[in-house]
Every structure is written in structure tokens, then in C-alpha cells.
Amino acid sequence: MPPELTPDTFAAVSGLDSEAPLRLELPAALAAVETARRAVLGHLRAQALSARTIYRVELVLEEVLMNIIRHAFPHAGEHRIHLQVCADSDQIRLRFEDEGVEFDPSSAAARPAPASLDEAQPGGLGLVLVRRHARQLAYARRDGRNVLDIAVARS
């Protein structure tokens, strides 16, 4: 079992690949999702990840960024999202930081599943998907910033 993932230990050197982490500063805009996806996949290319792991990383990346962009900034302005990606021998770790509205996805209630297709509404399942595909998820609010660390297992 990998060591516990916490915001305080995210950058620990133990077990990290010798490759430096990828660090991105992104505008809180929908176009940034594709920019981040390409940068992350390019950074992880040398890791020889399985298609399943790549799928999980992409899903987590896109869902978290979309939620931050859509919900963290109720007021107009120039907002930034900081992303860090590290590869360990058995997992890929993603850290998202933003100065948006405080939101702890590790303790937020999931929307109940609809009883029928007639009751189903689009959206609202991103957090469920992130939790399903993350090995670990840790959240902290520090100095007015959301810090979300997610580990995705290599498979």
C-alpha cells in the first residue's frame, strides 16, 4: 500500500521518479482544460502507462478542472489554477490549487442516482467519477486557497 496522500506530504521525494514534476499555471477558462490535458499526457508519455491509467488520469484531470472553472469563481476576473503532476513507481499524483470558493470534494455529498431515465439530469456525476478512479483524495484549505491532491493508481 502506498504512503498516505496528504497535502503536507505531496511533494515528498521518497519514491518519486527522477523526472521533475510538471507544473502548470492555467487560466480559469474552458480552453485551459485541453491545454492541460495535452501537457499532462506529453509529460507522462515516457512513463509507459497503460491505457487504463491514461484514461483515469484524463478523467480526473478534466472533471476537476471543469468543476473548478465552473464553480470556484462566482465573480468575474482573472483567476488562475495551479496544477502539479508527479509520477511515482505505482501512481500518478495530481495537485490542483486555486483561490476560489472553498470546496472540499472529499467530504461533499454525492448526488443520488436517479431512479429512472426520466429523472436523470445531465451533469453532476463528475465528483462520483473522480472518487471512483482515484486511489486517494486529500483536501486542505490553506491561506485562502483550495489544495486538492489526487492519486491515480498505475494499472
Q: How far is residue 49's CA from residue 38's CA, in Å, rounded to a whole number? A: 15
- Please tell me the predicted confidence (pLDDT) of residue 126: 76
Phi, psi of 82 (to 5 degrees): -105, 130
22-153: which CATH number, 3.30.565.10, 3.30.460.80, 3.40.190.10, 3.40.50.1390?
3.30.565.10
What is the pTM for the complete model shown? 0.82
- pLDDT tens track of the chain, all 155 residues? 444 444 443 443 333 344 689 999 999 999 999 999 999 999 999 899 999 999 999 999 999 999 999 999 988 778 999 999 999 999 999 999 999 999 998 887 766 666 776 766 655 667 888 999 999 999 999 999 999 999 999 98
Helix (H, G, I), strand (E, B) or coil at 119: coil
Residue in this structure with the C-alpha cell 480552453, named with its chain if needed:
31
* Closest alpha carbon to 151 in 84, 82, 76: 84
Per domain, the residue ranges of the chain are 22-153
